[in-house]
Each structure stands twice: as C-alpha cells, then as structure tokens.
Structure 1
Amino acid sequence: MTKKIRTRFAPSPTGYMHIGNLRTALFEYLIAKHEGGDFLLRIEDTDQGRKVEGAVDIIYDTLKQVGLNWDEGPDIGGDFGPYVQSERLGMYKGYAEELVKTGHAHYCFCSEEDIEEQRKEAESLGISFKFQDPCKHLSQEEIQSRLDAGEPYVIRQTIENVGDTYFDDEVYGRIEFDGDLLDEQILLKSDGFPTYNFANIIDDHTMNITHVVRGNEYLSSTPKYNLIYDAYGWQRPTYVHVPPVMKDEFHKLSKRNGDASFQDLVAKGYLPQAVINYIALLGWAPPTEQEIYSLEELIEVFDVKRISRSGAIFDIDKLTWMNGMYLRNMSEDEYYETVASYLEKAVQGPYDRREIAKIIQPRIDVLNQIEESVDFFDQPGEYDLEMYRHKKMKSTPETALVALQAVRGVLEQMDTWTAESVHETLLALPKELEMKNGQVLWPVRTALSGKQFTPGGAIEIAFILGKEEALKRIDVAIERLQAAQAEC
C-alpha cells in the first residue's frame, strides 16, 4: 500500500513573505495535491528572538490570497498537533535525551568563549574550523555532577566514525559526503528550546511528513539530519532540494537587500494569482510552452522531476507581462471589481468609472499604473503646443487648429451623447476635412487629456468626459493655438 503523500510548509514568523519562501510553499503544495495528499502548515518559532509581531497573520493571509489552503495547521487543527513549535516544547527534550542515552548526542558545557578560542586557533593555522568538543570525553559521573550543580548546557549531536555517506535527492540525484567532516550541531539550546535543525526532524517524523522540500543550501546539512533519523530507526523522508530564486546571475533575491516580498508586489498592484503563476515557473519547467496556469492546472501537470538544479532569475518585466495577461483575461465585471478602489482614488469627477475601466483594461499591466494613466479626467496635463506636432499622425499645430475648430462645431450640434454617436461623428469628420484620421483625432486627444499617452483614444475620452467638459477643453486648446499663431 502506497503511503499517503504529506508535505509541510514550516515558516518562521519573522516578517514578510519572501518570494523564495512562497515558491517553496507552492512546490510543497503541488507535490502533495498532485498525488491527492495533504499539505500542512506548521509555525517554527523556536528562535524567539527573531519573532515579529503579526508575522503569523501575514503567513495565513499570504497563503489564503494565493489559494494554498492547508489541510492541517494551527488555526484548523488536525490529528498531529499542536502545529506551533513553541507549543510542542515538552517533547523535544525527551527526544534529545534519548539520543544521549544511545550515544548519538552528548551534553556540552562549553561556553561561547571556549568555542571562539578554538575558532581563532584554526584561523591562525589556516585550517577550516570544526569544533572539537572536549565534553564528549567527560565521565558519566562528571556530567551528572555538573548537571546537578545547575551548570548551563546544550545537547550536541555526536558524529564519529561515519565515513563516506550519501543520500538521494529528487532534484540533485545522489549526493555523497565524507561524514567525518560534518560538524556536531546543537540539538537543544541552553534555554531548553530545540534548534531549528533538530525540531523540524522530530516534527516531520511525528507528523508523518513524507516529502521535505527546502532550499538547496540545506544539502550540506542533510547528512546530519539523516544520522538523527537513523539513530532513532526512523525512515528518512523523500528530499526535494530546490535552487534559489536569484536577483541576478550572482545574487540571491533577498528582502534584506531591498528586493520585493510578496506583500510589496501586491502593494505595487500585482495580482496574487499572477505572482503565484509566475513563481511556479521559477526553477520549474512546464511540459509544454504554456505559461498562464491556474492553480488547478498546476496541480494537474506538476512533476518534481522538472525542477531545475540551477537558480532562476526573478524577472520583474516578465511578471509585469503576466500580470497584464491576467488583467486582460478578466470579464468586464471581474475587472471592474478589481480596479474599482483604484479608480475611486484616481478619479474624483462625475465620470462613469465602468467606462473608464473598459478603456484601461487592454492597456494596464499593473494596478498601480491606473492613477497616473487616468488622472487627466479630473485635470488635463500641462502640455506644450508642440505636442500637436506628430510626424506619424501628420499633425502640426496649424492643422490641429483647423481640426479642433471643426470638431468643436460638430460636437456642439450633437443632441445625443452616446459612445456610438461620438464615434460616428468624429470618424466622419476627417473625410469632410480631407484630412487623415490622425490629423483630427490626435489633436482631440491632446486637447482633452494634455498627454501623449492615454489608455483610450480621442473618441472614448470625449464620450466619458461628456459634452460640456469636452467642449470646454477643446475651447481652451483652440484659444492657445490661436494665440500662438498670432504671435508668429
């Protein structure tokens, strides 16, 4: 009988959700759900000094926004709780002491000064530092005496006579190590808290985790983890080490270096579903040329064997393109619901925001572009009259004045102001004036918006502004052009 796949996302509550962490959560989710398994959420808060207030809520909110719903976790419970490490403290000490009894760990009473002295000696000799713990050689009587005296201690892993060792990874294949080079890591700290490296082993085993997904920086630590699994006689999990998300060819993406977190991207106007789609493709190759995937489609096609061994560069331009695709593929109602709050802030005048949404949908890639692109509805931009000169449109300030005077005349005579009537009226004019379309429409768009680039053309903008406002702006443009010509 095949064992049910169980994966876990085990973040530390230390701040915003980094893109690399979110991608790890996504891969864990996809591995489990592709096989009909369970995805768990566990909060690893053993490092109390780095814990940030509100960070747990950020973890919950982020996963919910992108649709990575967990089957077990701190908020919903499950058969293997508690799902917060600080609530599981009672169990770790017993597991650590069991390793001491079997000779796979030992009590260490060394101070930081003792360790630092060895480190400096290694540096002076020009050799790599590996702590040689003198406490391994203490007699049972001396150990007990020091424990009874209340001396502070840690429990440190014991690694001796391991020799060559290896493990198999789903991404990197067989990894071989000289076990005797492994450093003896701390398992239980002097404050009674387990280290991350120890606690996650105990938790993964007791929660029946089958697949451990983490960054490839943990490849070198895995042999030490395996020694602990072996010491208990436990089955090792399936390892999936993933490459880093890179800022460029040489630097990892890092919040510490000012790179965007998931929350930063959402604040800048990127859609959660576009972000999760994009990061799925960072270090994972889909089976076809398809790039736009729903989460359900990703579950269907995800194959861990298609994860790359090399780092993937985070390309904000590619994400922006993908975000634009998501926005353009929305229905009119869904799009309006998405952009309504942005339009509410950007446009104060009495204009139909649904109509504005229609003209920006094909042209906006990121939601934060909206305000700048539509601010002319409330107040046209300050522009130079040379803007009427457009080589491609064959427009000049002189032809613009002729066109705007004619436009003003036909618009003033209109009795009904609909999108269709404005469209029909303005498109009929170039032929009457024996002008190109651009020679008429470019000056109108310039006069109405004061901008070279707008999300809609002259016809859409005129309709949304309404007859009175459109005529008012065209009058201002005509006066300015006439005054400029009079000066020549």
Structure 2
Amino acid sequence: MPDTIRVRFAPSPTGLFHVGGARSALYNWAIARQQQGKFVLRIEDTDEARNKPEWVDGILNALSAIHINASDPAFEGPYFQSRNTVGQREAALKLFAEGKAYYCDCTREELVKRTGSQHLGYDGFCRDRGLEFQEGRALRFRTPDEGMTVVDDVVRGATEFPNNAIEDFVIARGNGSPVFVLANAADDIREGITHVIRGEEHLSNTPKQQLLWEAFGAELPVWAHLPVIVNEKRQKLSKRRDKVALEDYLAEGYLPDALVNYLMLLGWGPGDDVEIRPYEELEKLFRLEDVNKSSAFFDVKKLTAFNGEYIRALPVEDFVQACRRWLEAPYAPWAPEAYDDGVFRAVAELAQTRIALLSEITQYVDFLFLDAPTWDEASWNKAMKPGAAEVLKFTRARWADSEWTAEALRVGLEAAAAEHGLKLGKAQAPVRVAVTGRTVGLPLFESVQVLGRERTLARIDTAAARLQPA
C-alpha cells in the first residue's frame, strides 16, 4: 500500500448534493487531512441519460460550502470516470486474457427457461464455451465456486459472503463498455486509493469489487462502510420523502459551520459530552474505528439548535453579512429602496439572539421596512382583547410627548399598564401587534425607538381605528 493515504469521494452528477454524501465527504476529508494524505474527487459520470454538467458545478460548490476546497493541498481532482473508459476496457480485456472472465451470449429468457425461475442469478452456462468477443456478448467475471469472500471492514468488522452465492457478474456490456462495478475498481486501483470510506448501502457490492481487486493483483484498500442515515420514523432518508439536499438547508439559512459540525456527529462522536466544536477540533479527534454501526438519526430539531448556537456565536458584523441574502430581493418582502442598512444594524444584535435560521430574519425586521405592518390574524385576535383600544390610546398619548428612548418608552407603557390594572406583558401585547404585526419579535421598546415616533404613532392610530365598532 502507498505510504500516502489516498481516500476518494465519488459522487454522480445526477442531482442535488445529498446530506449523506456530505457526511461521507467530510469523513474522507478528515482522514486525508489528519494523515497528510490526499482526498481524490472522482465524478462518476457514466450515466449519460441522467448526468448534467451543472450538477458537476453543484458538487464542487457544495463541497466548497462545507469547507472542502479545491485549493487545499489535500484536494486532488476532479477526475471524471467517463474519461478513463479506455483504461477500464483494457482492464476488462486483461481479465479475459487471463481466464478470469468469459464472454456470454445468454438472454434473460434463455436463463429463465433453463432455471425455471425469474429470480435465480446467472447459472454459469457460458463459462466453458470458449466464446470470443462479438457484438452483443457480455463479459462476465468468473467468481470462485467455493469458500468465502471476507470483507474486513473498519466499521462493521469482518463480513462473510459465500462465494457460491455470488453469481458470475457482468463487467462489460455487449458493446464492450465497462459496467460500474468494474469501472469503480479499475479507477480506484489506477488512482492509488488506499481507503474506501462510503455509505453502508454499498456494502453489498463490496465482495464483487474485492474479488476484482484481487484478480488485478492489487493490494486491497481499507474498507469502511458508514451507518445509514434515517429520519424520525427510522426510515432511510429518501429524496422522495425527506429534505435531503445540502443546498436546501443552506438556502433555508443553516450556516455551513453548523452543518459541518452536525454532519460529523452523524454516526461518530469524540467520546465526551461536547457537541458544539469547530471543525479543526473534530478533524483532529476523528477516528474511523469509533464510527458507530447503528443507523444515525438525522434530527432536524437538533440541527436547528446547533445552528442557533452558531448564529449567536457570530461576530455582529459577520451576522449582518450572513443575513444579506434574506434582506434583499427576491427573499425580502419589502421594496428594495425601503431597506436601510443602518436601521438593520441598529437591531441586528437583538435579532441575533432570537433566530435559529437566517431565513427567519425577515419576519423579525419586516416591520421596519414595510409601509405598514402585516398583521397576523392569529396574533391580532390573541392581543386585541376587550380594553386593548384604551391601552393603545393611553400609550399613544404618553408616547406623543415622550423622550424617544427605550427606557422612556417603557415608562410610558408601564403607566398605561398601571392605569388599566394590567401587568406590563399584557399591556405590551396590543402595542406590539399594532406596531410590528406579531405577538413575538424583537424587544418592543428598542424596536419602537428604531422605528421612530411618527411611524409608531401612525400605526397605533390605525390599529385603534380598526378596533372601533363599525
């Protein structure tokens, strides 16, 4: 085995970047950097019907988002599987020349007729017929008839596969093009891969790949199959049923650092009670031997809690910059010219302590940039109880001549509460909804101070008028 550890991440460019793939990439990246090795990115793009060039860009962008950067010395590639078809064909022909593979012209119908079953694997009919290549004849690998193929896996231990249960599988199609199992093994060997770290779903293919490695006379890689990721019903994450695309989480306002931290802990932990920690620490602590065999629950609530911690830990200026996407078109519900960066900065630190997703920022600050608040009906009905109109009018009268500071505004509302025999929280509710449109938001008095006297009083007047009997 080479002195330098070489891991590989081999996605197919057929869609958005799955969080399971992101977890696998991070584990490979951690091993490569930890051991001063190489992280080889190989794009497995042989499925011409489904591959799209934009998905390749999506893979590179997604990796960059989770801090796996092509500029890092540990990064190598991307290589493209489709560009090594000549080497893969040569590998297949080498196996044929050495008697380790044979051509087969059996049809599915013929196999069913011979075996009497639709479900049995290939019966080895063409093994000793001595067929040569001809268009339409597949090339099959000759598997051992006896014994076991033992996959020694770092995570799962030694797994035995009876050789008599592994059919003579196809390694090249009738037109000579290599199939995935051969292309995968041939590329791994060509690229000097020493560690294959990937999802558990690939374990069933591993005995075939191991037999190919052995047939090529190559030293076996270290196998490590990571636990499957499941949803709250303990079902494997599915793009048809679950939110699984890394891009979707980023678009919703999850910070890359929070995603990296959470994904690293899906199936592995450093053995202490500390969960929130920077990637640099996680990388140093990571050990393949400590990865759990059991399925890993993708807990969105826990991820969101992680994200809230990371948001609160940002320097305020970094928080302001992180929010930019949601403060501008098309995400912002206000006209572009209505946005005032100075106004946002005045409340940014208050908002930072309250949101768990960056996308939530608009609902906390929209009242500052809209001509009128968007009254949430549930909030209105909850806050505008009998007596609310009187509280609004009294508060308006006190605030009309008040010093316009948060503390002075509080004193004015406390007077309104006392006048009407209410606790401050009860008196605040109608005022908050009148001014911001919601029962929950930023601290009221600081919000009103930033909004300004004229706009605040106008909104109180509008709300009070709405409460008047028709």
TM-score when scaled to structure 1?
0.85
Distance change in 2, residues 1:118/1:52 (3 Å): farther
Does residue 294 of structure 2 align to residue 310 of structure 1? yes
Q: How far 1:2 sits from its partner (Å)?
A: 8.0
Matched ranges for 1:12-411 at <5 A: 12-70=12-70, 83-115=79-111, 117=113, 121-123=116-118, 129-139=120-130, 143-144=131-132, 147=133, 150-344=134-328, 345-348=332-335, 349=338, 352-377=343-368, 378=370, 379-380=372-373, 381=375, 383=377, 387-388=382-383, 397-398=386-387, 400-411=388-399
Q: How far 1:350 sits from its partner (Å)?
A: 5.7
Aligned to 2:425: 438
Q: How far 1:194 sits from its partner (Å)?
A: 1.8
Aligned CA-pair RMSD: 2.9
Using the alignment, how far apart are the partners of 1:92 and 1:387 within structure 2?
69
- Identify the range of structure 1 (64-73 vs 85-94) with the bigger mean alpha-carbon deviation: 64-73
Q: How far 1:246 sits from its partner (Å)?
A: 1.1
Using the alignment, how far apart are the partners of 2:209 and 2:345 within structure 1?
58
Contact 1:244 1:311 in 2 (8 A): yes
- 1:231-283 Cα offsets, whole Å, 9 max, x none, are 22211000001111112445211113353311222222222322222221111
Contact 2:136 2:173 in 1 (8 A): no
- 1:68-104 Cα offsets, whole Å, 9 max, x none, are 124799xx996xx781111111111111111112222
Q: How far 1:334 sits from its partner (Å)?
A: 0.7
- Identify the range of structure 1 (423-432 vs 348-357) with the bigger mean alpha-carbon deviation: 423-432
Using the alignment, how far apart are the partners of 2:356 and 2:421 within structure 1?
37
Does residue 447 of structure 2 align to residue 456 of structure 1? no
Counterpart amino acid of 1:47? D
Name the % identity.
35
Distance change in 2, residues 1:356/1:477 (3 Å): same
User: Which segments of 5 or more consecutive residues in structure 2 lack a partner in the other structure?
Assistant: none
User: Which segments of 5 or more consecutive residues in structure 1 lack a partner in the other structure?
Assistant: 390-395
SS in 2 for 1:88: helix
Using the alignment, how far apart are the partners of 1:11 and 1:23 within structure 2?
12
Matched ranges for 1:459-470 at <5 A: 459-470=445-456
SS in 2 for 1:83: strand
Distance change in 2, residues 1:55/1:424 (3 Å): same
- Identify the range of structure 1 (58-67 vs 460-469) with the bigger mean alpha-carbon deviation: 460-469
Contact 1:153 1:189 in 2 (8 A): yes
Contact 1:245 1:313 in 2 (8 A): yes
- 1:281-323 Cα offsets, whole Å, 9 max, x none, are 1111232111223221221111112211111121211112112
Counterpart amino acid of 2:58? I
Contact 2:40 2:78 in 1 (8 A): no
Using the alignment, how far apart are the partners of 2:321 and 2:123 within structure 1?
63
4+ residue runs over 4 A deviation: 70-73, 115-119, 382-386, 418-435
Contact 2:267 2:296 in 1 (8 A): yes
Using the alignment, how far apart are the partners of 2:356 and 2:278 within structure 1?
18
Using the alignment, how far apart are the partners of 1:232 and 1:385 within structure 2?
73
Using the alignment, how far apart are the partners of 2:263 and 2:234 within structure 1?
19
TM-score when scaled to structure 2?
0.88
Distance change in 2, residues 1:343/1:112 (3 Å): same
Using the alignment, how far apart are the partners of 2:381 and 2:233 within structure 1?
44
Using the alignment, how far apart are the partners of 1:354 and 1:320 within structure 2?
24
Does residue 9 of structure 2 align to residue 9 of structure 1? yes
SS in 2 for 1:397: coil
Contact 2:23 2:264 in 1 (8 A): yes
- 1:368-411 Cα offsets, whole Å, 9 max, x none, are 3333444444232055865346xxxxxx633x445433422332
Distance change in 2, residues 1:36/1:437 (3 Å): same
Contact 2:101 2:140 in 1 (8 A): yes
Aligned to 1:412: 400
Using the alignment, how far apart are the partners of 1:20 and 1:480 within structure 2?
52
Distance change in 2, residues 1:385/1:61 (3 Å): closer
Using the alignment, how far apart are the partners of 1:325 and 1:353 within structure 2?
21
Aligned to 1:392: none
Q: How far 1:427 sits from its partner (Å)?
A: 5.9
Does residue 468 of structure 2 align to residue 477 of structure 1? no
Q: How far 1:338 sits from its partner (Å)?
A: 1.0
Using the alignment, how far apart are the partners of 1:385 and 1:18 within structure 2?
41
SS in 2 for 1:160: coil
Using the alignment, how far apart are the partners of 2:426 and 2:204 within structure 1?
68
Using the alignment, how far apart are the partners of 2:2 and 2:256 within structure 1?
34
Q: How far 1:159 sits from its partner (Å)?
A: 1.0
Aligned to 1:393: none
SS in 1 for 2:102: strand
Q: How far 1:157 sits from its partner (Å)?
A: 0.7
SS in 2 for 1:241: strand
Using the alignment, how far apart are the partners of 1:462 and 1:404 within structure 2?
14
Q: How far 1:40 sits from its partner (Å)?
A: 1.1
Using the alignment, how far apart are the partners of 1:250 and 1:118 within structure 2?
41
